[in-house]
Amino acid sequence: MEREQGSGEFVREPLGVAGRITAEESAPWPVAPGRYRLVGARACPWANRVIITRRLLGLEDAISLGIAGPLHDERSWRFHLDPGNVDPVLGIEYLREAYEKAVPGYDDGVTVPAMVDVASGKVATNDYAALERDLSTEWREFHRDGAPDLWPDAGEIDRIGEGIFDDVNNGVYKCGFAGTQDAYDRAYRALWDRLDALSGHLSDRRYLVGDTITQADIRLWVTLVRFDAAYHGHFKANRHKLTELPVLWAYARDLFQTPGFGDTIDFEQVKQHYYGVHTSINPTGIVPDGPDPSGWLTPHGRDELGGRPFGDGTPPGPPPGNERVPPLT
């Protein structure tokens, strides 16, 4: 998933199967309900972006969801939560098997999310950014009634999203996997400068772009929701906890309590993955018992800022029974 340059800076490896699934019938991978299985993991923020998008747009019947467990080894993400350690639709134990079917001798990173063609067992694409955009555009015919418009201002969403990706989504990894003090210090400063700017931006508006939830909010939120459970301690992104940042904490709780967001999160799997897999950072593999997640359900007060979460659309219904996560207690 990552490597270090001579500077000690974390660099995310290129995607290994960056295809597209489009509405063109002649496309190598055409849109077709029931053809593909989205493989994600509750632990992974990149997968979470696409899982939330699928939920909000109501594509559960068109695209099935497979969940890899939080633990994996050098062979890749593994379906160790499923009976017999095998995905019930794809019939594989390790996600690498689907990558190797797509690219014989595949030797790049095995990542989630991955959209897998069920019939052939091949990964069609693991390009999370293209997937979240294409689910909104190329799959429009199969959206639920009342699906929100997640791209009302694509230019502004991409502009703000670029900074979120560089300094926040990827920024916490740059802190955690830095190979030198200088590399860590640069990443740490960029992360907190960006979070401070985002806090200021959100101090008088409910959402990042316009008055509705957009893809920009999804991109930021998947890092915020994992911040105290993993990034603050495990990745040394520890100037403050999220719970100590009034604006961002309220913003994150607002979205957590919005259908399609909090109902995709399993904090135990998040901690099991980060603390259990990254042995170079946490060699003992000990998973912390805290923090207490019950605060995510406390009042946030953000509705006083106005806004219409789903615009002219409606909230999604409850997730399918086999996709539900444990409730917070």
pLDDT given for residue 7 in this prediction? 80
pLDDT in tens, 215-248: 999 999 999 999 999 999 999 999 999 999 999 9
pLDDT in tens, 145-182: 999 999 999 999 999 999 999 999 999 999 999 999 99
Which residue spans within the chain are E strands per DSSP? 2-4, 10-12, 36-41, 64-68, 72-73, 76-77, 114-117, 122-125
The CA–CA distances, whole Å, from 274 to 44, 97, 127 equal 9, 23, 22
Q: Is 12 helix (H, G, I), strand (E, B) or coil?
A: strand
pLDDT in tens, 51-78: 999 999 999 999 999 999 999 888 889 9
Q: Are 300 and 257 in contact (CB under 8 A)?
A: yes
Query: How far is 284 from 278, CA to CA, in rounded Å?
Result: 10
Q: Predicted confidence band at 3 (pLDDT cuts at 50, 70, 90)?
A: very low
On the question of pLDDT at 90 being above 60, the answer is yes
The β-bridge relationship of strands 72-73 and 122-125 is unpaired
pLDDT in tens, 183-201: 999 999 999 999 999 999 9
Q: Predicted confidence band at 4 (pLDDT cuts at 50, 70, 90)?
A: low
Q: Which amino acid is at 100?
A: E
Query: So which residues are the catalytic ones?
Result: 44, 173
Q: Is 305 helix (H, G, I), strand (E, B) or coil?
A: helix
Class of domain 2-142: alpha beta
Q: Predicted confidence band at 1 (pLDDT cuts at 50, 70, 90)?
A: very low
Q: Is 169 helix (H, G, I), strand (E, B) or coil?
A: helix
pLDDT in tens, 8-58: 898 888 888 989 999 998 999 999 999 999 999 999 999 999 999 999 999
Class of domain 154-323: mainly alpha
On the question of pLDDT at 322 being above 70, the answer is yes
- Domain positions in the chain are 2-142, 154-323
pLDDT in tens, 97-131: 999 999 999 988 899 999 999 999 999 999 999 99
